[in-house]
Every structure is written in structure tokens, then in C-alpha cells.
A and B are shown apart, each in its own frame.
Chain A
Amino acid sequence: MTTEQIIGLVTGILFGFLLQKGRALRFEKQVGALLLRDMTIVKFMLSAILVGMVGMTLLSNAGVIALSHKSANLGALLVGGALFGIGWALLGFCPGTSLGALGEGRWHALFGIAGMLAGAALYAELYPFFKSTVLAWKDLGKVGLPEMLGVSPWMVIGVFAIFSLSLFTWFEKKNI
């Protein structure tokens, strides 16, 4: 294995370990969140995002890492995001967690993985069509929210932190 592959594998093992320990891999947790009954994965994700936002902003400001924004292509995000949500509710796993779920014995995730491979093949075939339609509507470019709004990253992080902590308080109060 190359260095690149070894680093990827080690990082993935740690990633999978934390997803499993946080109980984020379970169908019950993922669909439970979408049914607003069990917000475990939302607590897990938002905590990770908050810590990550601070770390990435510090490292990027210090010139240590390079940020790599994906295109804010509105058609792609709105249509693709909606399709993802529809499929996610049926499957009960996302692409990364489907592998983790299989790792902890949830064999039905295998059919989801097979479906995702079939869907990926389909997307590759349909890509020219999407490129001239959905993907061609409106692209705001590879941009960060702070630059788009003309504010400091810390402002965005602060607002997001207040939003997340309010949600956490609400989840704990409702015991979900």
C-alpha cells in the first residue's frame, strides 16, 4: 500500500470506530432523527462540526491547511440534496455509515451498498444530461459562507454555535 492509502485506511478505522461508539451507524438512530424521535446523530454531527469549524478556521488562517470548497451550485444542491434525503430515509444509512453498519452486523446495509453502486453507475451514464440541465442552472462558485456574506468566519461560527447549543438544550429537555 502507498502512504496515501495507509493514511486513508488508518483515518477510516478511527472514523468508523467513533461512528460506531457514538451509535451513529444504526438505522434506528438515522431514521429516528428524521422522525424527530432520537436526535443522537444530530448531537454527534453538530458537536463534530463545531469543533471542526474552530480547528479548520485556525489552521487555515495560520496558512497550515488549504480550504477546498465544493461549488455552491444551487440546482445541484437543491435537487441533489432532496434526492439524497428521499433515498436516505428509505435506506436508513448514508454512504459512509452503510459500510460501518455492515461492519457491526447490519447485513441489510449490503443491499443499500449494492443500490449505491448501481446508482453511481446510473449517475455516470446520466451525467451529460444533468450537466446540461440541473447543474447548469445557477452556480455561485466555490465560496465560503463568510466571504459570501462579507463577515468574519468567527461571526458565522458564533451564530452556528448558538443555534447548535439551543438545539442541544431543546433535545435534552424533550429527552430525544
Chain B
Amino acid sequence: MERNMEDRGWNPYIAGVLLGILAIASAYATTVWLGKTNYLGASTTFVRAVGFIEQMVSPEGVAANEYFVKTKVKLDWQFMLVVGILLGAFIASLTDRSFKNEMVPPIWKERFGPSGFKRALGAFVGGAIAIVGARMASGCPSGHGLSGMMQLSAGAFIALGMFFLAGIIMASLVYGRRAS
């Protein structure tokens, strides 16, 4: 059985409880220090990041775009949070030597072969579709799945349900069902 023992990961329930505590502490800390309660989220940062990139080519275009204006292209709390996720994961992977160079993950390889190009294409297309969906729904598994659910937001229940429903159907179509 593939379990956490072999890679020395933490029990997912305990890691989850700690993440819940972090989310609460973060809501409290931002309220006290920034005067506004901030909730964990990630997908808006991709809009801001591409806004910065587009500004290098055409500042007027960004200034004239309704969505960029509404979202406000800035290096804010959430932007740094997303940068922090990368750093935190890197540090964690060094503490238990679980950092691993990977170009094609095993489940993908079983279905589509070892081609790094195919995987790159799949990741790119999947990423583009996912972020359009996340921005349309105004949130991703962090914004809706964690923060929205923790606040008992009505929309979060619908969003998280749809993420998994569509994801389960798509995964079964793409990777097929195999006896495990």
C-alpha cells in the first residue's frame, strides 16, 4: 500500500488541522495589523502577475482593461502569500529530503507516455482552462475551498462541489479507470 510512511509526510488530518489554525491566525493577524481581514486565496494573483507582464508591453492596454482595473494590479498581501507558498514548499521538501526533480508524473506517464512535451502541453492547456474557471467563479480551492467554506459562504459550497464533480468526471475520462 502506498502510504505516507515511506516518504515521511505528515498525517494529512494533523497537517489539515494545523492549516485550519494558520487560516484563523492569519485572519486575526491581518485584522489587527492591516485593519482588514484577509483570507487565504491564490487565483487573483495570476491576474495581477499577468497584469504586471502586460504593463511592460502596453501600460495603456492594462489601464483601459476593465478587469485589470477592477482587480488592481499590485504587489499585495495575496501576491506575497503565493510567492511564500513556493518558498515554504521548497523549505519543507529540504527538511525531509522529499524534493524531487520531476518532468512527467507517474499517472500521466502511464496514460500518455514519457514525453515531457505532451505533459507540458497538457499542463499549459489545463492551467489556462482552470484559471478562466477560477476567475469566473471568483475563487479557487484556496479562496472558495478553504476560505469560503470556513466562513460558511453559500457560494463556496457550490464552487467546491462543482470543482470536484467536474474534476472527477474529467479525470475519469482522461486517465481512465483502472483497478488499483
Residues of A whose CB lies within 8 Å of any CB of B are 1, 3-28, 31-32, 34-38, 40-41, 43-53, 55-57, 59-60, 64-74, 76-92, 94-109, 111-128, 130-131, 134-135, 140, 142-146, 148, 153, 156-157, 168, 175
Contact of B140 among A5, A95, A118 (CB under 8 A): A95
A23 closest partner in B (C-beta): B9
Assess the A68–B91 pair: CB atoms within 8 A: no
Q: With A8-B77, A20-B92, A120-B131 as given contacts, are A48 and B146 in contact (CB-CB < 8 Å)? A: yes
5 intermolecular pairs with C-beta atoms under 8 Å apart: A8-B84, A65-B31, A84-B137, A92-B105, A104-B92
Assess the B2–A38 pair: CB atoms within 8 A: yes
Bound-state CA distance A73–B131 (Å) is 17
Determine chain B's interface SS by DSSP, over half rule.
helix
Contact of A69 among B19, B136, B155 (CB under 8 A): B155
Contact of B90 among A35, A66, A104 (CB under 8 A): A104
Bound-state CA distance A131–B79 (Å) is 25
Q: With A7-B77, A69-B148, A124-B67 as given contacts, are A15 and B126 in contact (CB-CB < 8 Å)? A: no
* Minimum C-beta distance from B18 to chain A (A): 6
Assess the B128–A119 pair: CB atoms within 8 A: yes
Assess the B15–A18 pair: CB atoms within 8 A: yes
Bound-state CA distance A105–B109 (Å) is 17
Q: Given the complex, which residues of A lie within 8 Å of B78, measured CB to CB?
A: 8
Q: Is B154 an interface residue (CB 8 A)?
A: yes
Q: Given the complex, which residues of B lie within 8 Å of A113, measured CB to CB?
A: 127
Assess the B126–A91 pair: CB atoms within 8 A: yes
Q: Which of the four size classes fits the interface of chain B?
A: 35 or more
Assess the B171–A34 pair: CB atoms within 8 A: yes
Assess the A83–B133 pair: CB atoms within 8 A: yes
Contact of A120 among B27, B47, B106 (CB under 8 A): B47
Determine chain A's interface SS by DSSP, over half rule.
helix
Bound-state CA distance A76–B10 (Å) is 36
* Minimum C-beta distance from A168 to chain B (A): 8
Assess the B126–A94 pair: CB atoms within 8 A: no
Among B20, B26, B42, B168, residue most surrounded by chain A Cβ atoms (within 10 Å) = B20
* Minimum C-beta distance from A172 to chain B (A): 10
Task: Give per-residue flags for B68-107: 1 if the beta carbon is below 8 A from chain A beta carbons, else 0.
Answer: 1001000111111111111111111100101111111111
- 6 nearest A-B pairs in the assembled complex, by CB-CB distance: A12-B84, A16-B88, A81-B162, A85-B166, A51-B20, A47-B16
Assess the A83–B42 pair: CB atoms within 8 A: no
* Minimum C-beta distance from B33 to chain A (A): 6
Q: With A22-B15, A83-B129 as given contacts, are A143 and B154 in contact (CB-CB < 8 Å)? A: yes
Assess the B155–A72 pair: CB atoms within 8 A: yes
Assess the A40–B12 pair: CB atoms within 8 A: yes
Assess the A123–B175 pair: CB atoms within 8 A: no
